[in-house]
Copies of this chain bind each other. A is one copy, B any other.
Amino acid sequence: MLRRVRHESLSALAFLLALMPPLVSADEPVSSAAAAAVPTPPHHRDGRFQNNYLDFAPRGLGALLKWKLDAMRDGLPSEPTTTTPRQPPEIEFLRRNAAAGVAMEPTATWVGHASVLLQMGGITLLTDPVLSERVSPLSFAGPKRALPPGLAAADLPRIDAVLISHNHYDHLDAATVKTLAAQPGGPPLFVVPLGVKAWFTDAGLDNAVELDWWQTVKVGSVEIVFVPAQHWSGRSFSDRMETLWGGYAVFAPDFQAFFAGDTGYSKDFADIRARFAGRQGPANRGFDLALLPIGAYEPRWFMKEQHIDPAEAVQIHLDLAARRSIGIHWGTFSLTDEALDEPPRALEVARRQRGLADEAFTVMAIGETRRFPRRGP
């Protein structure tokens, strides 16, 4: 089996190598410095973006080869010993709840990977929706879904807003975006990072609004704030860091949610907690729900700057003072060296080490819906 797998990986490499243009024309526009009149935020750098606490440079060929060859040598990732839990979705409940207006119960439904259906404040949101079979620019190669989405496109209630954290293929999927844009009754509002609106325009979709960090957009009574994360962006060789990345804080009158996107660990989360202290009520209670990535973290020497591990996710849960967190970004696509079923086990260990109650930071089954109490004053 392993030998077969290695052979397949090498074939893939051979094929991809064959695609390489003998000469890649060096025609990237080198943008000149922005107009100097208005001070640009420090994360804006000559037409590209950077992180607040780390100048990120994607690793070079040597590191990438070392990662992949080490993984091949060590037979990583190991086969998972358990399958990601999955349960039938509550399609009718979600539809009724979507139409309930002020009577809407706050809910979260895990669709898989970083795709979560959120209902709060009378609207239904979807984070980083990906319903496709692969997360890759190639239709026939790249990470393949281990199990179907928890909700099929036809099962979705009407989506009011889609939150896109960044433009990597496992977070921004062309086919899914087009499917959502074609929902009966008109497209949702696509809330996207600065620079990503052009991708929607190119796809013929004009219903996107792009936000810089800390900028907001309101949908009904719900305020959506784009917040920093420590990551990067890019869909090809030449567009790295050209569009922004981040997470979202979502404030409804009766519920406050946080969606981290992809991130390494940084002081950004303490900053977020501090920034929103004024709007988290007299008791200054943190988000009612934080959706935090817990997968895609091995090997640490390669991933640490861009992907937290479960222990760092617990630290972010604490930094945010979140009332409950749910671990996402695992169990769906095998992207890195840890086994597909490892993140929840590592989360459990980390949770106990920090003395957290089991229910404070859990995982869900794909397709599962959690209902949450409304936020008090």
Q: How many residues of A contact B (CB 8 A)?
A: 47
Q: Check A334–B21 contact: CB distance below 8 A.
A: yes
Q: Check A141–B237 contact: CB distance below 8 A.
A: yes
Q: Check B12–A237 contact: CB distance below 8 A.
A: yes
Taken together as a complex, chains A and B put the C-alpha atoms of A76 and B236 apart, in Å, by 24
Q: Check A19–B142 contact: CB distance below 8 A.
A: yes
Smallest distance from the beta carbon of A81 to chain B beta carbons, Å?
15
- Say if the beta carbon of A103 comes within 8 Å of chain B: no
Smallest distance from the beta carbon of A252 to chain B beta carbons, Å?
38
Chain B residues with Cβ under 8 A from A139's Cβ? 137
Point out the residue from B10, B22, B334 that lies within 8 Å of A23, measured CB to CB.
B334
Point out the residue from B13, B26, B61, B142 that lies within 8 Å of A4, measured CB to CB.
B26
Taken together as a complex, chains A and B put the C-alpha atoms of A4 and B23 apart, in Å, by 10
Smallest distance from the beta carbon of A241 to chain B beta carbons, Å?
14
User: From A134, which residue of chain B is reached at the shortest CB distance?
Assistant: B21
- Say if the beta carbon of A24 comes within 8 Å of chain B: yes
| Interface residues as binary, A58-97 with B (CB distance below 8 Å gives 1, 0 otherwise) | 0011001100100100001100000000000000000000
Taken together as a complex, chains A and B put the C-alpha atoms of A94 and B13 apart, in Å, by 44
Contact A137:B19 (CB < 8 A) given known A12-B237, A14-B64: yes
| Interface residues as binary, A2-21 with B (CB distance below 8 Å gives 1, 0 otherwise) | 00110011111111111111
User: From A15, which residue of chain B is reached at the shortest CB distance?
Assistant: B237
Taken together as a complex, chains A and B put the C-alpha atoms of A142 and B23 apart, in Å, by 9
Point out the residue from B5, B77, B236, B337 that lies within 8 Å of A141, measured CB to CB.
B236
Q: 5 extra interchain contacts, Cβ-Cβ under 8 A, other than A19-B137, A22-B77?
A: A12-B20, A15-B236, A16-B17, A22-B76, A141-B237
